[in-house]
Amino acid sequence: MSLQDHIIYLILSGITFVGVYQFYFLTQRHHVSNTRIFHSELDEKVPFWPSWVWIYSFLYYPAILYLNVITLNARHFAMMVFSFVALLVLQMFFFYFFPVATPDHWRSRNKGSTASERFLQYVQKFDGPTNCFPSMHVSVATLTALHASGSLGPWAFAFPVLIALSCMFTKQHYMINLPFGAVLGWLAFRIYLLVM
């Protein structure tokens, strides 16, 4: 593939990101049942380490965009994008019909006294406490790793592991959200294999 093709796919990926987030924000504002809040002693024991926000935000997008580098052809690109759309549909089902939020006191731990805390507050201005089950960050990271494992081998799975840790330490997710997110990412990859 030419450099021009890769640039075009990169632009299309950016547009896809923006479009996908509109559905994510839509389900934050509209759902059909009451929002649930889980109570777990184990989750309460997880420390709040806001410095993990840099992994949570800045590892996330470049790792996903890496898939543009390994794109083989137009069909491969289209099928990868389709797998992320399939994942979005799976996620939206849960967000719409089974909304779950993190407890308010998790966010109140953030006093905004460091650069990491201030950036996390900025992220949370857009990303409300709902839509946390299953973890979309982990599901997207898992799907990305499965696509990238052909070129990166097992190293690709460092991405979802780091993202899962960042979800816990920034108090953006409950622990139970993480494996369920990974399962959704795996299901979306199975759909990709079926259509590819």
- Overall number of domains in the chain: 1
pTM above threshold 0.75: yes
Give residue 56's domain range.
3-33+41-195
Residue-wise pLDDT for 150-161, tens only, equals 999 999 999 999
Q: Is the pLDDT of residue 107 over 80?
A: yes
> Among residues 86, 84, 128, which one has the least CA distance to residue 106?
128
- Top pLDDT among 39 and 187 is at 187
Residue-wise pLDDT for 48-99, tens only, equals 999 999 999 999 888 888 998 899 898 999 999 999 999 999 999 999 999 9
∠ CA 160-94-75, nearest 5°, is 60
Q: What is the mean pLDDT of residues 171-178?
A: 95
